[in-house]
Structure 1
Amino acid sequence: MRKLLPPILLALALTVATAAHAAGPTYRVHVAGLACPFCAYGIEKSLGAIDGVARVETHIEDGVVIVEMAEGKTLDRAEAAQAVEDAGFTLDGFEAPAGGSQ
């Protein structure tokens, strides 16, 4: 059993490392009205509920939310706008990566 542990741990570490680098496209969602950490929590919860969202990061001072999708997934403007509206805010801009959904 002890001889099996190092190869198993190595395989697990490689799997985690590969998953961490298998990120999908990243979008910049500009949101009007972000003013505090509570606002950030609400918008992150709403955008994070979209199918395929891997990571959400809010920059309150810039009014920008970075949305990273899982590999093979995309985010379209209408879907982002609905999530922003559901959180009680207004979509102020949407930047897709080159070749991404608009």
Structure 2
Amino acid sequence: MKTKIIIMLILGLVSVSTIQAQKQRDDFKIQVDGLGCPFCAYGLEKKFKEFKGIKNVAIDIETGDFTFTFPSDKKLTLLQVKTQVEEAGYTPVTIKITRANGEIEVSEKEKE
């Protein structure tokens, strides 16, 4: 009986730590102007992979939506994202960051 309780406690702790590890990522959504083909999307993705730790990258060429997650402890800023998009050769229309703690940051154009 004690063995079952100990196993259940261990499984519970592992589950909680896994959930917390997943929650420690910020969500980024950028509307990008100028994406016209898969090669363009690849170039943008490649530029952002310079940020070590980027995951869950998704780019919709038709809408210009570019999303990814990034470790919250590295605190990627709106300015860094804007600069990276521009260095890749594109124009960021809007940028929205949803931090792991629930805080939301948006670029100036989206605030209007």
Does the alignment pair 1:99 with 2:103?
A: yes
1:71 and 1:45 map into 2 onto residues whose CA distance is 21
- Show structure 1 runs of 5+ residues with no match: 1-13
Shift, 1:50, TM fit: 1.5
TM-score, length-scaled by structure 1: 0.69
2:47 and 2:104 map into 1 onto residues whose CA distance is 21
TM-score, length-scaled by structure 2: 0.64
- Number of residue pairs the alignment of both structures matches: 85
Please report the RMSD computed on the Cα atoms of aligned residues, expressed in angstroms.
2.2
For residues 10-59 of structure 1, the C-alpha deviation after alignment (integer angstroms, 9 at most, x for no partner) is: xxxx8xxx49x625111101111111100110111111212432232111
- Please identify the structure whose Cα radius of gyration is greater: 2
Question: Residue type of the partner of 2:103?
Answer: G
2:80 and 2:90 map into 1 onto residues whose CA distance is 14
Task: Please name the residue that 1:4 is paired with.
Answer: none
Identity of aligned residues (%): 29
- Show structure 2 runs of 5+ residues with no match: 1-13, 107-112
